[in-house]
């Protein structure tokens, strides 16, 4: 799965306006809704927040991948946000989050959902890529880094 199949430059925001976990999730869902990627933003917010309450999606190394499934999506949708300053996300390593990747999918696309989560996780385990994306200051820089990495394979 290629992440650029579900991500456009308009789906990346840096910096985010929000400064806490719940507000970041809401802001990113609203971003997708504003681009007509999500028809029922409140349903997605509820799904992502419910998932977040079962176990944090702050997976460590400054990354959080909040995600959820809800009706009304025609396909996978993804947004990437970079907080203005690292935020507390109750990450498993106790470190604040520097990048948030929100993934949304319809309930019947479990395999694609899992593949996208795995692809994001794999990219972010590469120290050099992670350092470059954390150093990026604009949405375009973040998108271009992903585009270059996707081309590289």
* 113 is a catalytic site residue: no
> Are 136 and 104 spatial neighbours (Cβ–Cβ below 8 Å)?
no
Q: How many C-beta neighbours within 10 Å does residue 53 have?
A: 8
Farthest-apart Cα atoms in the chain, separation = 37
DSSP state of 87: B
| Catalytic choice (13, 45, 61, 67) | 67
Over the range 21-44, which residues count as b (16 or more CB within 10 Å of their CB) and which as e?
A: beebbbbbbbbbbeeebbeebebb
Which positions are catalytic?
67
């Amino acid at each position: 799965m290629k992440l650029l199949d579900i991500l456009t430059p308009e789906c990346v925001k840096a910096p985010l306006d929000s400064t806490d976990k719940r507000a970041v999730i809401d802001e990113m869902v609203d971003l997708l809704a504003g681009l007509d990627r999500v028809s029922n933003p409140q349903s997605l917010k509820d799904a992502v927040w419910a998932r977040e309450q079962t176990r944090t999606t702050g997976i460590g190394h400054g990354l959080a991948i909040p995600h959820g499934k809800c009706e009304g999506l025609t396909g996978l949708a993804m947004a990437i946000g970079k907080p203005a300053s690292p935020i507390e996300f109750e990450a498993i390593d106790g470190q604040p989050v520097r990048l948030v990747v929100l993934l949304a999918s319809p309930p019947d696309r479990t395999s694609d959902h899992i593949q996208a989560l795995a692809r994001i996780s794999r990219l972010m385990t590469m120290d050099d890529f992670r350092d470059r994306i954390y150093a990026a200051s604009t949405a375009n820089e973040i998108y271009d880094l992903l585009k270059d990495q996707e081309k590289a394979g």
